Structure 1
Amino acid sequence: MFALDLHTHTRFFHGFTARPTPFDPVGARLLGLVARRRGLDGVAFTNHDYYAPQDAGPVTHVPGIEVTSSRGHVLVVGPDPPTCTNPERMEPEAVVEMAHDRGCAAIIAHPYRNSTVREVDADFDAIEVNGKHPRTREWVERLAEEHGLPTVGGSDAHYPFEVGRAFTRVDADELTPEAVTDAIRAGRVEPVVGDFPTDRVVRRLYRRIHEGKKQLQTPAWVDGEQDQPTPGVGSAPDED
C-alpha cells in the first residue's frame, strides 16, 4: 500500500500557459520534501496543460498533467502523459481517449468547482476528492457511486505546505506509473483527507475565494434546485 498525492503543481503561480518555467525544478524538490515529511511515498506533478519530468527528491514522481478541456479540468496520470495540450480545445471525451491511448488514467478533477465535466458521458477512471474543499466529499462519493467509479484524493497544491491535505492510498505491489494506473482503473484506491492545522485554515480561505468567484456549485439533491452550468475556464461553455 502506497500513499500518493495525485494532484500537485510545481509553481506558486498561474500564467506561462502550457509550458515549463525555470521555477518548476525548485517547486518539484520542495513538494517532494514536504511530501516525505507528511509520510507520502510519491506525488504526481499535474501542471496545467504541460508535463515535464522532474526530480521529486525523497519521494517517487508519478507523471501527470491537468488538461483544461472545453468543460473543465481532467487529470491524466500514468507512464506517458502528453507533454502539452491546448487549453479549452479538447472535449473531455477526447481527453479520456488520449489518456487511455497513452496508458494513463483519466480522473475528473474537482467536479463541483468551475467544471461541468461530471455531466459528460465518457469512460473516466476515477473522480477526485479535492483537498481545497473536501466538504464536497459526500457529493463526490455520491457522484462516483452513480457512475460506478472509484474516488481518489489530491491536494491540488500550488504551495509546498499544501501537499498531502488530500491524498490517495494505492493498493499496488510496486510504486511505478503503470502500477498506479492499473490500481486506479481497478478501484484499488482510497481517498484520505488530511487534518493538519494549516489544512483547516487554508481550506476556509479557498472556500471564500471560490464562493466569491461563484465557482462552487451545489448539486441539485442538496439545495433542491436544478444544476446550473458553470464555467470550465473563462467564459461558460455553450451548453443547451
Structure 2
Amino acid sequence: MFAVDLHLHTRPFHNPRGAPTAFDPYGARLMAASARNRGIDGLALTNHNYRVPYLNDDPLFVPGIEVTTRNGHVLVVGPDPPDRTYGDRSSPAAVVEDAHDRGCAAVIAHPFRNSTVADVDAPFDAVEVNGKHPERRAEIERIADEREIPVVGGSDAHFPFELGRVHTLVYADDLTPESVVDAIRDGRVEPRRQTYLTDRLLLPMYDAIHGARDALQRAVPG
C-alpha cells in the first residue's frame, strides 16, 4: 500500500497563461520535501493546462495535468499525460478519450466547485475528494456509486504545508505511474484524510474564499 497525493501544484498561484514558470522546479522540490516529512510516497504534479516533466523517486513524481474543460476541471494522471491543453476549449468526453489513449486515468476534480463535469456522460475512472472540501465526501461517494467508479483523494495543494491533507491509498505491489492507473481502474484505491494543525486555519479560509467567489458569480449575469 502506498500513500499518493493525486492533486497538487508546483507554484502558489495559477498562471493564467497555463504555461511553465521559473518557480516550478523549486516548487516541485519543496513539495517533495514536505511529502517525505509527511510520509507521502507519491505525488501527481497537476498544474493547470500544462505538464511539468520532473522526475523524482522519493517521493515518486507521477506525471499529471489538470485540464480545464467547458464544464470544469479533469485530472489526467499516468505515464503520458498531454504536455499542454488550451483553456476551456475541450469537452470532458474528449479529455477522457485522450487520457485513455495515453494510458492515463481521468478523474473528476472537485465536482462541486464551479463544475458540471459530474453531469457529463463520459467514462471517467474516478471522482475526487478534494483537500479544500473534505467535508463533502458523502456527496462525492454518491456520485461514485451512481457512476460505479472509485473515490480518490488529492490535497489540491499550492503550498507545501497543504500537501497530504487528503490523499489516496493505492493498493499495489510497487509504485509506478502505470500501477497507479491500474489501481484506480481496478478500484484498489481509497481516499484518506489527514488533519494537520494548519487545517484549523485553512479550511475556514477556503470556505470563505469560495463562498465569496460563488456569490459574486451569481450576482454577475453571464
What residue is the counterpart of 2:48 in the other structure? 48
What residue is the counterpart of 1:185 in the other structure? 185
Matched to 1:165, the amino acid is: R
Give the CA deviation at 1:57: 6.9
| Residues 110-160 of structure 1: per-residue CA shift (max 9 Å, x gap) | 001110001001000000000001111111011111111100000000111
Matched to 1:206, the amino acid is: Y
Alignment partner of 1:38 is 2:38: yes
Gap change, CA 1:138 and 1:39, over 3 Å in 2: same
Matched to 2:140, the amino acid is: V
What residue is the counterpart of 1:226 in the other structure? none
Matched to 2:24, the amino acid is: D
- The alignment partner of 1:65 has SS state of strand
1:31–1:56 contact (8 Å) kept in structure 2: no
1:108–1:118 contact (8 Å) kept in structure 2: yes
CA–CA separation in structure 2 for the residues paired with 1:123 and 1:68: 17
What residue is the counterpart of 2:59 in the other structure? 59
Matched to 1:103, the amino acid is: G
1:46–1:75 contact (8 Å) kept in structure 2: yes
What residue is the counterpart of 2:208 in the other structure? 208
Normalization by structure 2: what TM-score? 0.95
Alignment partner of 1:136 is 2:136: yes
- The alignment partner of 2:107 has SS state of strand
Give the CA deviation at 1:14: 1.6
What residue is the counterpart of 1:83 in the other structure? 83
Matched to 1:97, the amino acid is: E
1:25–1:55 contact (8 Å) kept in structure 2: no
1:1-240 matched pairs, under 5 angstroms: 1-56=1-56, 58-214=58-214
Normalization by structure 1: what TM-score? 0.88
Give the CA deviation at 1:58: 3.2
CA–CA separation in structure 1 for the residues paired with 2:133 and 2:91: 25
Give the CA deviation at 1:52: 2.1
CA–CA separation in structure 1 for the residues paired with 2:183 and 2:44: 15
Give the CA deviation at 1:13: 1.1
Gap change, CA 1:195 and 1:86, over 3 Å in 2: same
CA–CA separation in structure 2 for the residues paired with 1:18 and 1:176: 26
| Residues 27-67 of structure 1: per-residue CA shift (max 9 Å, x gap) | 00000110111110010000000002124473110000000
Task: Give identity over the alignment, percent.
Answer: 59
Unpaired segments ≥5 residues, structure 2: none
Pick which of 65-74 and 17-26 moved more: 17-26
CA–CA separation in structure 2 for the residues paired with 1:235 and 1:176: 46
CA–CA separation in structure 1 for the residues paired with 2:178 and 2:55: 18
Unpaired segments ≥5 residues, structure 1: 216-229
What residue is the counterpart of 1:219 in the other structure? none
CA–CA separation in structure 2 for the residues paired with 1:69 and 1:36: 33
Matched to 2:70, the amino acid is: S
Give the aligned length.
220
- The alignment partner of 1:197 has SS state of coil
- The alignment partner of 1:213 has SS state of helix
